[in-house]
Chain A
Amino acid sequence: MKEFIRAEHLSFSYESIEDAPPALYDITLSIKKGEYVAVLGHNGSGKSTFAKLLNMILIPTSGKLYVDGMELTCPDFTEEQLFALRRKIGMVFQNPDNQLVAGVVEEDVAFGLENLGVPYAEMHKRVKEALSLVGMTEYALHAPSRLSGGQKQRVAIAGVLAMLPSCMILDEATAMLDPQGRIEVLETVEKLHREQGLTLLHITHYMDEAARAGRIVVIHDGRVWADGTPSEVFARRDELRAIGLDVPGETEIVEDLRKDGFSLPAGCIGTEVCADEIAKALGTL
Chain B
Amino acid sequence: MIKDITLGQYFPGNSIVHRLDPRMKIILTILYIVTIFLTKNVYCYIAVFLSSILLVLVSRISLKVVIRGIRPILYVLAFTMVINLFFTKGETLLWEWWRLHIYLEGIYRAVFMALRVVSLIIGTSVLLTYTTSPIVLTDAIEGLLSPLKKIRIPVHDFAMMMTIALRFIPTLIDETDKIMNAQKARGADFNSGGLVKRAKALIPILVPLFVSSYSRAEDLAVAMECRCYRGDVGRTKFVRLSFSGKDFVAFVLFVSFGAAVILANLYLPFGFKV
A residues whose Cβ falls under 8 Å from a Cβ of B: 55, 57, 83, 86-87, 90-91, 93, 95, 97-104, 106-107, 110-120, 123-124, 127, 143-145, 159-160, 163
Main SS of the interface on chain B? helix
How far, in whole Å, are A111 and B238 apart by their CA atoms in the complex?
Answer: 8
How far, in whole Å, are A124 and B237 apart by their CA atoms in the complex?
Answer: 10
Q: Output the least CB separation between A103 and chain B (Å).
A: 4
Q: Which of B134, B219, B230, B239 contacts A115 (CB 8 A)?
A: B230
Is B236 located at the chain interface by the 8 A CB criterion? yes
Q: Are A117 and B234 in contact (CB-based, < 8 A)?
A: yes
Is B229 located at the chain interface by the 8 A CB criterion? yes
15 A–B contacts from the bound complex (CB under 8 Å): A57-B222, A95-B216, A98-B223, A101-B224, A102-B163, A102-B167, A107-B135, A107-B239, A110-B238, A111-B229, A112-B227, A115-B235, A117-B235, A120-B237, A163-B228
Q: Output the least CB separation between B274 and chain A (Å).
A: 44
Main SS of the interface on chain A? helix
A159 proximity list for chain B (CB < 8 A): 227
Q: Are B226 and A91 in contact (CB-based, < 8 A)?
A: yes
Is B220 located at the chain interface by the 8 A CB criterion? yes
Interface string of B145-184 (1 = CB under 8 A from A): 0000000000000000001101100110010000000000
Q: Which of B135, B220, B229 contacts A103 (CB 8 A)?
A: B135
Q: Which of A90, A103, A127 contacts B238 (CB 8 A)?
A: A127
How far, in whole Å, are A23 and B49 apart by their CA atoms in the complex?
Answer: 69
Q: Which of A98, A116, A118 contacts B216 (CB 8 A)?
A: A98
Beyond the given pairs A103-B163, A107-B135, A113-B238, 12 more chain A to chain B contacts, judged by CB atoms under 8 angstroms and listed by A's residue number, are A87-B228, A98-B216, A98-B220, A101-B220, A101-B227, A106-B238, A111-B229, A116-B228, A123-B236, A123-B238, A143-B170, A145-B171
Q: Output the least CB separation between A129 and chain B (Å).
A: 14
How far, in whole Å, are A83 and B225 apart by their CA atoms in the complex?
Answer: 9
Q: Output the least CB separation between B58 and chain A (Å).
A: 24
A97 proximity list for chain B (CB < 8 A): 171, 216
How far, in whole Å, are A37 and B190 apart by their CA atoms in the complex?
Answer: 50
Q: Are A115 and B228 in contact (CB-based, < 8 A)?
A: yes
Q: Output the least CB separation between B226 and chain A (Å).
A: 5
A143 proximity list for chain B (CB < 8 A): 170
